[in-house]
Amino acid sequence: MAQTGTKMAAFKQALPLSFSIMAGFVFLGITCGMYSSSLGLPWWMPTFMSIAIFGGSAEFVVASMLPGAFDPLTTFAVILVVQARHLFYGLSMLWPFRGMGRKKPYLIYALCDESFSINYGARIPADIDRGWFMLFVSLLNQSSWVLGCTLGGVFGSMIPLDIKGISFAMTALFVVIFLDQWLQEKSHVSSLTGLAASAAALAIFGADSFLIPAMIGILVVVTALRPKLEGIYANGDRAAQAPAHNENGGDEA
């Protein structure tokens, strides 16, 4: 009974803090699911992605690749780069996740931007079990995402209407994240490098094979500019120490 009481108290603490993100996840999940359907993917694909990947940006990008040619190397490299920011969430959670025992693998697997924001920033009262609190936050967030993606996949494949244009949801998502990043950063060199290197790679290599050259170009430029940029970008050195909420624009799952 004591165990049940502990869990219940942690759940009651986690629910209100997760609520706005849960609502956002259901909405964005529906969009992601309908986008997948509009590409002709099976209805269960968004659900499968929401469990196997659980990362909004990555799922949109993977969905956009699935109708094309099988290219595991590009998929792996692109998703690794898109998800690289998670490395820094993990660094910040090394200490908070200590002693989590059997909950730890799930907490790490489900460490998306939003769950990180809540679990990293929450002031948890002393009488609440931290492990159960963090577990419920992660579970509530992921359940909402899985639910949204499933609804979107099912409805999207049932709707007989021509939903031409729904694919723009992915563009809008990344425009918003990019803009949010732009408004927060002290220097725009990185953002502009991303746009310019990718546009150049697109012009040279074409739509089907520009991503890897673009990533190499970005890496070369920011590495060459490191002496100039390190001080500027380290001002908000959130890596490993104190990542701010919405580090990357409160992106997705």
First-to-last alpha carbon distance for the chain, in angstroms, is 34
Contact 107, 134 (CB under 8 A): yes
Q: Which of 8, 159, 192, 242 binds other proteins (CB under 8 A)?
A: 192
SS3 174: helix
Only one of the segments 11-19, 118-126, 135-143, 218-226 lies at the binding site for other proteins (rule: CB under 8 A); that segment is 218-226
Q: Say how far apart CA 150 and CA 30 lie, in whole Å.
A: 7
Interface residues for other proteins in 148-187 (CB under 8 A)? Answer: 162-166, 168-182, 185
Min dist. Cβ of residue 234 to other proteins (A): 6
Work out whether 211 is an interface residue with other proteins (CB under 8 A).
yes
Task: Print the binding letters for residues 83-122 with other proteins: x by CB under 8 A, - otherwise.
Answer: xxxxxxxxx-xx--x----------xx-x-----------
Min dist. Cβ of residue 143 to other proteins (A): 18
Residue 222: name the closest of 233, 213, 235, 206 by CA.
Answer: 233
Q: Which amino acid is at 125?
A: P
Return phi, psi of residue 151, to 5°. -60, -45
Min dist. Cβ of residue 70 to other proteins (A): 4
Task: Print the binding letters for residues 4-43 with other proteins: x by CB under 8 A, - otherwise.
Answer: --------------------x--xx--x---------xx-
Q: Say how far apart CA 234 and CA 223 lie, in whole Å.
A: 14
SS3 50: helix
Number of residues located near other proteins, criterion CB under 8 A: 99
